[in-house]
Copies of this chain bind each other. A is one copy, B any other.
């Protein structure tokens, strides 16, 4: 069977990860072209991965008749524009989260995608493709835990990488948009698309006062109640001593599911003068390595089988919109309704 030929834009850390996966770890995929504004990086990665075709201009790449699909891992505020170019050129599109930086742009993206119903569009909420999360979703859908009462979601970056985290802070969009957006999407996924009714976000600068200048906190929380009364508690932190920690708990009327409590990076347990210990993931790239591959496999399989993926463009808008409301609540100190009447 013919391989799906993909051109990938953006060679930052995650862009590089996607490129390597497409080149060598995703069955049915072929990395056919690369695009980046950094000429040297472009040449190096192309050489390393054996990719012959390179572009500095994204629009040029979208016109390449040798390509079936485009993978977008560029700065978030370029997403909508690039989605349009790729779809208009007849390509299938995989786009990294978030959909875009502004809710209006997200809605624009919705319209573009809607205008190309035959093409596959997929957003990179990779957690949905993590094995543990998929098992949880199956159990929920099968009714194992009854009705969902509360979702608790933690996303903590490791203290070990705080310097680069601080450097990235001004461009991150803040904790709710950068980190919680994944958790917000999970809440939406697990509840079958429920929308927030009300929410209140708080936080503070407990160790890194520099976040205050950005109108952000180094640790933030949000309590959300959804339209059907389901509750969600989000917590995000920039510098957990124990490492990268993402954990999600879904409490239902008949049972409870926990993913990673606490997530440890291997099956190794060390018994020493510190007691009985397990190590956490050094960073998100290690945590989600398999999920990044699995989501790309799903993208490729959708193209091959003429299916649409579970993550839609509307999921992207909903997550961004919710994250913005959390951010607004945090900044104003007010409890907010999701949509003003």
Contact = CB atoms under 8 A, between A and B. Distances in A.
Interface of A: 1, 3, 20, 23-28, 48, 50, 131-132, 135-136, 139, 144-147, 149-150, 152, 159, 198, 200, 202-204, 206-207, 219, 221-223, 225, 229-231, 233, 235, 237, 239-243, 245, 251, 253-280, 290, 333-335
Given A259-B267, A269-B261, A270-B139, A204 B223 contact: no
B132 A243 contact: no
A231 B241 contact: no
A256 B242 contact: yes
B260 A219 contact: no
Contacts of A261: 261, 267, 269
Nearest to A200: B200
B135 A268 contact: yes
Contacts of A278: 275-277
Given A24-B28, A223-B221, A223-B233, A132 B268 contact: yes
A261 B253 CA distance: 19
Contacts of A28: 24
B256 A231 contact: no
Question: Quick one: which of A3, A27, A222 has the most chain B CB within 10 A?
Answer: A27
11 contacts: A149-B206, A159-B273, A223-B233, A235-B251, A241-B271, A241-B273, A242-B272, A242-B275, A255-B270, A256-B271, A256-B272
